[in-house]
Structure 1
Amino acid sequence: MIDHTPHSALLPVRGRAAWATGALVLAAAAWTARAGWQLRLASVGQPASGPPDQGDGRHRVLTGLEDAYHLVAAFADALTVLCALTFLAWLLRVRDNARALSGSPPRYGWPWVYAGWILPIADLWIPRGIVADAYRATAPGRRLPACVNWWWGLWLVGLISGVGLMYADSTDDVIARAYGNVTPLLVADAAVVGAAVAAVLVVRALTAMQEEA
């Protein structure tokens, strides 16, 4: 049985879970569209005029397909930001509820809920640790769902691949990559989409445990 902390000590989590789930689904769809446009760019091939960035600060006029990719990429980036905000709002709520259920302070203080995603090295394990600790505090003795490890593994692939979540280059440079070798881009996009889908399962699993509590 889960620890029977009085219900008044817990904050509602279903609403935040619904927002996070919806944002994750939209982000996954947007990144799928981004991958589709990259495939279209690769199939059409680079124009005879060369890549969009001509070097020395010169840029040629974009083709219709390239211009559309700029819009799709910007939309995917905006949905990624929305996804991050809603996921963090949900994570803060379940973390607070886990603390109320266990009666013990969490291993990571609240600043880590934010800083853990952006600090080098720390971002490789702290966010997963926050989720795992919240689940274990909510349901002591229960095995951590496999979706947590799938989510984090796929997230790391997208994060450290250099062509996924953390594009170091401009959108025009990514277009040039799609013309030259689209496979690494598609692998990174697939990892991001997979991570979003797994994150939906994580949100559902932890939310269900707290509602049961």
Structure 2
Amino acid sequence: MTDTARRTPRVLARCAQAALAAAAVADAFRAVAVRDDHLHPSAAALHWSGTLSMVFVYTMTLATVLFLVWLARSRSNAQELSPEAALPSRGWTIGAWFVPVVNLFVPRRLVLDIGRASSASWERQRGTTLVNLWWAAWVAHAVVLVVASRVAPGSMALLVLAETLMLAAAALLGLVIERVTAAPPGRPS
């Protein structure tokens, strides 16, 4: 086992968690501003919703990049800690997030596999439940956004549901990152 495997990406994990939290909060403010512009169109409302949308895009892009770098680093650590583990390539660990339809189920499996390979103390049931809750919140958020945009644009109930799911997904992903990062290095022989 090398020193690289023993070093967990803690700073990277904290940065990803902070960026996720900022993106989730920015999304909530953006959604309210966009709804306000939809209900009461004006130049000021359009400008404000556009500004908040740009802030959200920038923070979400930063969160995505930091998360994927953290995930790739965690995958490398897991591979060194558990050479026998069947982990995907580094390219597929990142690429699976960008392939349509595949990105609805493969990334969840990747995170589970990395968590299990990272530590013998990864509690299969608790780790799996946490990842499943995060993934359900994330996919449900995406579904609610699509339904809301097509069926009831400007619906306050769907807006609140979508933003609640986004905040829940961000918080749960922060916990997933914590669990994988905090996994003690090494596996018992």
Tell me which residue corresponds to 1:204.
Answer: 178
Matched residue type, 1:80: M
Superposed displacement of residue 15, structure 1: 1.5
Which of 177, 199, 204 aligns to 2:153? It is 177
Give how far 1:85 is off: 0.1
Q: CA deviation at 1:79?
A: 0.8
1:188 aligns to what?
162
Q: Give the corresponding residue for 1:20.
A: 16
Q: Could you tell me the TM-score, scaled by structure 1's length? A: 0.74
1:102–1:138: 8 Å Cα contact kept in structure 2?
Answer: yes
Query: How far apart are 1:197 and its partner, in Å?
Result: 1.1
2-structure distance, mates of 1:10, 1:90: 15
More helix by share: 2
1-structure distance, mates of 2:36, 2:40: 11
- Summarize the Cα distance change of 1:12–1:208 in structure 2 as closer, same or farther, 3 Å threshold: closer
1:78 equivalent in structure 2: 58
- Distance (whole Å) between structure 2 residues aligned to residue 9 and residue 193 of structure 1: 32
Q: Report what 1:172 is aligned to.
A: none
Instruction: Please give the residue correspondences for 1:8-87 in structure 2 after superposition, counting only pairs within 5 Å.
Output: 9-38=5-34, 40-41=36-37, 45-46=39-40, 62-87=42-67
Query: Counterpart in 1 of 2:137?
Result: 154
Per-residue deviation, 1:107: 3.3
Q: Percent same amino acid at aligned positions? A: 27
1:79-122 Cα shifts (integer Å, max 9, x gaps): 11111000001001111111111112533222222221121221
Is there any run of 5+ residues in structure 1 with no aligned partner, and where?
48-61, 170-175
The range that moved more, 86-95 or 149-158, is: 149-158
Structure 1 range deviating more: 182-191 or 120-129: 182-191
Q: Is the 8 A contact 1:163 1:184 kept in 2?
A: no
Asked which structure has the greater CA Rg, the reply is 1
TM-score (norm. length: structure 2): 0.82
Deviant stretches of 4+, over 6 Å: none
Larger RCO of the pair (alpha carbons < 8 Å, separation 6+): 1
Write the mapping of 1:62-141 to structure 2, written as runs, cut at 5 A. 62-140=42-120
> In 1, Cα distance between the equivalents of 2:45 and 2:173?
31
Q: 1:7: how far off?
A: 4.4
Distance 1:95 1:89 in 2: 10
AA matched with 1:115: G
The answer on whether the counterparts of 1:94 and 1:210 sit within 8 Å (CA) in structure 2 is: no
Instruction: Sort the Cα spacing of 1:40 and 1:152 in 2 relative to 1 into closer, same or farther, 3 A.
Output: same
How big is the shift at 1:71? 0.7
RMSD between aligned residues:
2.8
Task: Check conservation: 1:33, 1:72, Cα contact below 8 A.
Answer: yes
